[in-house]
Structures are given as structure tokens and as C-alpha cells.
Amino acid sequence: MRRTIVSLAAAGTLICQQAAAQLHCMSPADQAAFDVQALRSEMMVLATGCSDDTQYNAFITRYRPELQANERDIDAWFKKKFGRRAQSEHDRFVTDLANAQSSAGTHLGSDFCPHNGMIFGEVMALQNSGELPPFAAGQNLVPQSLDVCAEETAQVEPARKAASKKR
């Protein structure tokens, strides 16, 4: 048991460091929006994987205005970074996020629901909606594999090369 806790703590620290480094193209407000998006996704994965729609629905109901505003912020970020491809990039991110979180849950096996299910109680115990972004940030739920900054850089580089060839 102690070995498992130490392993999870070490993995959590590594994930935290990677998550902090991966979204370097974002302002703190944008980062907060992505953290809340990842929390919402994690809650959905938990509800689906652990057959606990009641707690997920309570979360959505309690934080509906904040979650809707957060979705608008995420949409605006994707529009700013990806232009015409914003919706497809956003959809890809949301899908990849849920798949990565689900995959991480699969690795925990039967410990997934008890281990991660506590998050429902924690998020519902927050005093107000202003505590949601810092809480989400502390959960480190944006997987390293979802570096939208790298996607942006990868898309910009071919355009720069093409422009320099024209000169």
C-alpha cells in the first residue's frame, strides 16, 4: 500500500511538472480555463466509468454558469489560435482529453472509482464557484500528451517556411 502511494505521489509530481511546462503558449487565465475543462472531463469519465451520473449531474447543476463561461473561454482560445480550424481542433482536444483520462483510469483498474471518486465530494465541498479554477489546477488533469501549444507550433512552421521560399 505504501509503495502504491509513493508511486502515485511521484507520478503526480511528474505530471504536474509536465502539465505546467506543456501549455507554455497560454496566459494564466487560459491555463485556468483548460484546467476547468480537464476537471469537467475527468468528472464525466468518472461518471461514465463508475456509473455515477447523480454526482456528475449535481456538479454540472451547481457550476453550470461557470462551466458555460469556461466553455466560451475555451472556444475563444481555439478561435484565436486556430482560426477556421478552431472547432475541429477543439473537438479533437476534448475527445483526446477524455480518451487520455479514461486510459489512465484503465491503468488503475479496480482502484479507479474509489481513488478518483473522492473528487466529487471535494469539488462539491468548495465554498463558492471562485474556488473552482484553483481546485482544478491542483488536480493536474491535463495529460502531457495533449500539448495544444505543440500543435500550434507545428501548424505555424510550414506556413513560415512557405513564406520564406517566396522571398
Report d(CA 133, CA 69) in Å as an integer.
Answer: 12
What residues contact residue 34 under an 8 Å CB cut-off, 6+ apart?
23, 26, 74, 77, 142, 148
pLDDT digits (tens, 9 = 90+) for 79-112: 999 999 999 999 999 999 999 888 877 777 777 7
At residue 85, the pLDDT reads: 94
Q: Comparing 72 with 17, which gets the higher pLDDT?
A: 72
| Ramachandran region, residue 128 (left: φ > 0; alpha: ψ -120 to 50; beta: rest) | beta
At residue 118, the pLDDT reads: 87
Parse the chain into domains and list their residue ranges: 2-166
Q: Comparing 1 with 68, which gets the higher pLDDT?
A: 68
Q: Is 82 exposed, middle or buried (0-12, 13-18, 19+ CB in 10 A)?
A: middle
DSSP 8-state class, residue 52: -
Which amino acid type is present at position 14? Answer: L
At residue 112, the pLDDT reads: 79
pLDDT digits (tens, 9 = 90+) for 114-147: 877 788 999 999 999 999 999 999 998 888 777 7
Q: CB of 55 within 8 A of CB of 113?
A: no
154 grid coordinates: 507545428
pLDDT over 50 (residue 10):
no
